[in-house]
Amino acid sequence: KMPITMAAFVLGGLSLIGVPGTVGFISKWYLVLAALEAGSMLIAFMILASSLLAVVYVWRVVEVLYFPGDAEANPELRDPPWSMLIPTLVLIGATVWFGFQTDLTAGAASEAARMLLEVAKGAPLPPSALPYSCPCWEPSASSSPAASPTCAKPSRSSPRC
């Protein structure tokens, strides 16, 4: 009764499981590689176990949707309007696209990881990378831009200061 919606659901489920050709595979691949490089077989096993668990619950939904059994199908079910289907299809398309074209996502993730490692080593973040701006922030001897900022004059317009 809802072929477009259910096809999108199945593709999303396959990505959640980590099937090759989807962005879910790429993310699980990098997570398992990082766990193995860190020497943590337990974490790698847990990531793979989460994929198997996803197979179980995604398959259960697919089974109910495509093999309804004796129950009568609801005659009122139909695909939602195109205003809802188009964003869904765009997202599912991106799931498959980025499953094959990994340069953008892997590159952005590598850059984010590099910045986090620099901050962990004590290097300050460039101001453009900060998620907020605090016009009243004044560095003190005990604080750095990577640490929590201190504010000389807290105000309602700068709640994070």
Strands (E), the chain: none
Partnered with residue 151 across adjacent β-strands are: 137
Least confident of 35-44, 63-72, 119-128, 142-151: 142-151
Average of per-residue pLDDT across 121-130 = 66
* Per-residue b or e along 37-46, where b marks 16 or more CB atoms closer than 10 Å to that residue's CB: eeeeeeebee
C-beta neighbour count of 149 within 10 angstroms: 19
Pick from 105-109, 132-136, 142-146: least confident: 142-146
What's the pLDDT at 125?
Answer: 63
What percent of the chain is modeled with pLDDT above 70? 71
What average pLDDT score do residues 53-69 get? 86
Question: pTM of the full predicted structure?
Answer: 0.63
Q: ∠ CA 61-67-71 to the nearest 5 degrees?
A: 100
* Type of residue at 76: E
